[in-house]
Structure 1
C-alpha cells in the first residue's frame, strides 16, 4: 500500500481495480469480454460498410443506424482495451489526465447514443403517423443536423464533468473499484468537498437520460394512439412491428444504465459488485447485439449484409 500513500500535491495516479472480488477469475473473464468486443466491432463496422457502399441505403433510417453503430464502436473501445490491459498484463495505473480523457469521450458517446435513440423514435413516429410526408420531413440533411445538435448538447453537458473533477484534491486512497474511470467512483476518492460534483451529475443525468426517456415515452404514446385508431388488427401488428427493433435496443441501453445509476450509491457488498459488472456489460452487450437486432428486423439491411458476406 505504500505506493498509494502519495501526498495530495503529487500528480494523481489512480489504480483501476478491475472487477472487485473477482480478481482471481479476471483472466477467464477476459475471454467473453474480448469475444463480445470483437463481435461488436465486426457487426457495427459491417453496418457502416454496407450502408456506405449501397446507394439504396442512403436514407434517414440507415443514417441513424450508422450513427448508432458509431456510438457502439466508440463506447466499447473507450472501455475494453484498457480492461484487457488490466486482465492480461496487470496494467492498472492511469493518470488523472488519462482518466479525464476516457471519461469525457465515454460520456459524450453515451449522451450521443441517447440522442440517436430519441431521433430514431421520432423517425418511427413520422413513418407510422404521417407516412405520406416522411420523405419531406426526414431528409438526410435534417437527420445530420439533429445528430449535430445531439453532439453539441453532449459536449456542453459532459465538459463540466472534467472541469469540476480536476479542481478536487485527492488523498492517499486512489484505488478505483472499476475497470474504467467511472465518474462517481473517482469523486468518492476525493478528500475535498464533492457536493457540487454530485449535484451536477444528477443535473446532467436528468438533462440527458431522463429528458430523452420522456421524449421517447411521449413519442411512443402518440404512436400507440395512432395505431389504435386503425381498425385492422393486421395493420396494428404491421405498424408496431416496425418499432420492435428500436424498443429492444432501448431496453438494452437504458435498463442497465438506470439500474447502475441506482446501485451506484452502494460502496461495498454484493450490490456494489453487481453495479460494477452491470456497468461494464452496458458497454459490451448492446454494441454486440444492436447490429444483430437491426440486421434481423430490417430486410433491406439484412439482404445487403448477406450479399457481402457471401462474397467473402
Structure 2
C-alpha cells in the first residue's frame, strides 16, 4: 500500500504539495553549449509535473562552479530565459519546481570556464581528489586553491543572486546543494576542510559557510522558498572522518531554527551505514532535525511509503525511476508496472 504518498503536504504557509513524491535532482548534461536549458529539457520536466515537487538538475551559480559538461547555469539572462520555458511548462502541467543551486568546488575543471578569465579551482583548502571529470575522462582533477575570506563573501553573494535569478525564472523555490562532495559539503568535512581560520577546525567554524549561504538566500527570497541538501555521511569524492559528526551535530539544530521549506538527505543508497553517525544518514538526521525531511536513496514507492509511515522522513524523492518513467506518479497510483532504468537512458531526454 502506498496511499500515504498521495496525501497533500504543506511545506509551510506559502507552498503546499499535491502528493509526497518528489522528483530528485538528476544531472543530465543536456543544456546547450552556453549552458542554456533547451526545449527538450522543458518537455522532459513537463512530463513529470504530476510529482508533488520537481527538484531540478543542479544549476551552477557562476562559471567556475562547473564540473560536468553541458550542465545548465543560473547566471546569465539567456539561461534565465531558458529556465522560464521550463518552469512555465511545469506550471502549465499543474506542477511545482525548485531549482537546485550548485557549485562543484574542488571537482570543477577550468576546461569549462577558463574563457571567462579564471583558471582557479575553488575549495576550502588546497586538497584535491584523484580521478577525472565524468563523461570527459581525459580531464583529470586539479589541486584546488584555498579560497580567501574575501572570495567566500563573494561566493555567498553569488549563491544569493542565483536564488533571486531562480525566482525571476519562475521557480517556486530553491534547494541549495550542500551535499555529495561539492563546495558547501567540502566545508563540512575534515577530509576537505583543513582551514585554521573562522571557516575551519571547529564545528561552528566549519558550518559557517553553509549557514551564511542559507541566511543570504533566505534574506533574498524567504525561508519558505529555501531548502537545503546535506550529506552528513561522507561517501562521494570525500573520505569520512569521525569528527564530521560534531559538525553536523552543530549544523542541524542551527538549520532547524531557520524554518526552511525542507531538508533533503544527499545519499545514493540510504541502506549505507556510517559508524560515526550510528547507522543510516537519514536516521541520524531524523534524530536531531524535527522539521520536514526528504528521504532518498534507492527507495521504491513501497519502501518509501513504509518509511514515511514509520516517521523516518516526511517526503520521498525518487531519482532514476523518474528517468525511466515520466508518468511515475500515475503508474504507482494505479499499481502498474514500472519500466526498469538502464544507463542507456542517460543519452536522451524522454
Asked whether the two chains share a fold, i.e. TM above 0.5, the reply is: no
Query: Normalised by the size of structure 1, how large is the TM-score?
Result: 0.27
Query: Normalised by the size of structure 2, how large is the TM-score?
Result: 0.25
Task: Please state which structure has a larger fraction of its residues in strand.
Answer: 2
Task: Please state which structure has a larger fraction of its residues in helix.
Answer: 1
